[in-house]
Chains A and B, each alone.
Chain A
Amino acid sequence: MKRTENIDLDVMRKSPKLFAFKPIVLAVAAGTLVACSDPTEETQVYRSAEDCISGNPDQVEQCELAYKEAVNEAVKSGPKYSSMQACIQDFGPDSCNSYTTQNNQSIFMPFIAGYMFSSILNGGYRSAPLYTSYSRHSPAYGKWSSTDGVLYGSSNSNKVRVNDNAFKPKPTVRRTMSRGGFGSTIAAKSRFGGKTSRSSWGG
């Protein structure tokens, strides 16, 4: 046989899917609500390394390391703004800091408001940074939020219920400086002859 033996036609069908769920897009990064995965673990939230140490006097080193890691993870995967004003709009006054990137660009990011810290066997631990917003416009107002905008409940609480994903590193969020640097040739070429025969830019 010179042809594909079998094709799963159900997979190939593109007719409109019923009950399509459209996620609500939040202002903070790409916010999503934790909907279908069950929170499986209650974990402690600390607002600072000292806060962590006072709760875990035998884990001074771990608390300090976890804090540093949370700050680093936040710098890597947290939301980044091109102006202080835009950052304040999402996180509230006195909540943002400026950073200088390697090529001397200024970017603005919120401070972390705390971090999750959870001991595991053999003196190990897991941690992840948390934000909160003091801006009433933000869906994260008064709530704990992960760096990618997942909300975990009131920031008055020192405990959050999370699943395993909460501790996984998030993809790094970059500061996009520009868009549209690819695609200009087609704009120029399609001016030729109007738009009569253009169907593909492949061949």
Chain B
Amino acid sequence: MFRSIIEERPHWRNTASEYGFTFHTMHGAAYWDESAYYQFSLQQIEQDIEAPSEELHQMCLAVVDKVVGDQQWLEKFQIPEQHWDFIRNSWQTKESSLYSRMDLAYGGSGPAKFYENNADTPTSIYETGFWQWLWLQDQVNAGKLSRKADQFNSLQEKLINRFAQIKFQHLHETLYFSCCKDTDEDRGTVQYLEDCATAAGISCQFIYIEDIGLSADGCFTDLDHHKISWMFKLYPWEFMLREDYADALVDSQVSWIEPPWKSVLSNKAILPMLWKLYPNHPNLLASYFEEDLKNSQLTNYVKKPIFAREGANISIHLAGEQVYASDGPYGDEGFIYQDYHPLPAFGDNFTLIGSWLINGKAAGISVREDKNKVTQDLSRFMPHIIL
């Protein structure tokens, strides 16, 4: 695994606007960065990322199974009590899930270490599944990269196939896609997933999260007052379970993507649970709940809120001293503590691997780079190849 400089495609910004990739530059800074790429060997991809990702996913599912059946753990996971049955039900009836992204620390050798699981509302799927695919295509055609260059990225293909599978449980239903207002990135992500669902033959509509209505007879409605029965939401369950419409969730009988049991899978409390169930697993970092920290012998650790996104409210503690802290609005629900295992550095960049899974099958990676030790939402997305 190494980082190589490469010439940018001369007109890539025009190409981006042609394909509707509107968020390649955010807040005045580059988000998509093709001035360099990462190169992996096939062995690194298959042995160090693909296989462990699928194994980690199965381990996470085992944790979900344990947590939904146990009041003590549901409390630990900060799941509001009135929704326990709702979530348990969704798990026991095996409601279909679509995708997730695991964040891994991996620098080319040794076992990849599992940072966390974005299993409910992962983003950067468009950049991964389509945009970096197009980059490789273009660079090979321009003679800048070898014809033998490949990419770990069957994401779009697997997404479409997965939608086609799920469709059979929803014949003649419309799938509503939803995200919050005022974010180009989320809107772009949802549009991409809608395109994939359309390619799978599903009839799709879009509605903003804030526009969802509740009808007199307890249904969620679109702006034409039609019942919403099937919905993809790029909006976290931990928010939804605490908002005004939370009490309407059961009666509304919506089939959700991702399903409610993802609120357990995407929860950071899964990290100490994994360590309890699979201690010393090579891909896991030692992790503890607050009350277990004292007896843990952990001296260098990262403190993460149980609910948080995009690297907010994370602090690093080395030998009893806080050496880094990001701010943010999270942390009310408590924290977990994870063994400090810094990201590999390539030059002065810290590099994080996002490993994508479609229904449990490893489907590709995204590579993010940051000058900071903690990857935040403005870290740069870099393409990669296998050679």
Contact = CB atoms under 8 A, between A and B. Distances in A.
A2 B221 CA distance: 41
A192 B121 contact: no
Contact of B234 (A175, A177, A197, A202): A202
A103 B26 CA distance: 48
Interface in B165-187: 179-181, 183-186
Contact of B217 (A15, A103, A180, A198): A103
B195 A200 contact: no
Given A1-B150, A184-B243, A203 B211 contact: no
A185 B216 contact: no
A4 interface: yes
Contact of B227 (A7, A8, A101, A174): A174
A201 B179 contact: yes
Given A171-B227, A174-B219, A184 B18 contact: no
Contacts of A7: 130, 133-134, 156
B62 interface: no
Contacts of A179: 210-214
Given A101-B217, A177-B216, A202 B245 contact: no
B215 A176 contact: yes
Interface string A150-181: 00000000000000000000011111111111
B378 A199 contact: yes
Contacts of B310: 200, 203
Given A173-B224, A199-B23, A201-B235, A107 B216 contact: yes
B272 interface: no
A58 interface: no
Contacts of B151: 2-3
A4 B155 contact: yes
A22 interface: no
B234 A201 contact: yes
Task: Pick the most buried of B23, B216, B227: most chain A CB atoms within 10 A of its CB.
Answer: B216
A197 B213 contact: no
Contacts of B215: 174-177
Contacts of A5: 157
Interface in B127-170: 129-130, 133-134, 136, 150-157
A12 B130 CA distance: 9
Contacts of B221: 174, 176
Contact of A182 (B136, B186, B210): B210
B185 A199 contact: yes
Interface in B59-113: none
Nearest to A80: B225
B122 interface: yes
Interface residues of B, number: 75
Chain A contact residues: helix, strand, loop or mixed: loop
A9 B19 CA distance: 9
B226 A201 contact: no
Given A3-B152, A201-B234, A201-B236, A177 B129 contact: no
Task: Pick the most buried of A174, A189, A198: most chain B CB atoms within 10 A of its CB.
Answer: A174
A36 interface: no
Given A2-B150, A176-B214, A183-B235, A201 B227 contact: no
Given A7-B133, A201-B309, A15 B225 contact: no
Given A3-B133, A177-B216, A183 B150 contact: no
Nearest to A1: B150
B185 A197 contact: no
Given A182-B244, A200-B123, A202-B123, 8 more contacts: A3-B151, A7-B156, A172-B227, A183-B243, A186-B239, A196-B27, A199-B184, A202-B185
30 contacts: A2-B42, A2-B153, A3-B133, A3-B152, A3-B154, A7-B133, A13-B20, A101-B216, A103-B216, A174-B216, A174-B219, A176-B214, A176-B225, A180-B244, A181-B212, A181-B243, A182-B235, A183-B180, A185-B242, A192-B329, A197-B376, A198-B183, A199-B26, A199-B183, A199-B377, A201-B183, A202-B309, A203-B118, A203-B122, A203-B310
Interface of A: 1-5, 7-9, 11-15, 29-30, 80, 101-103, 105, 107, 171-186, 188-189, 192-193, 196-203
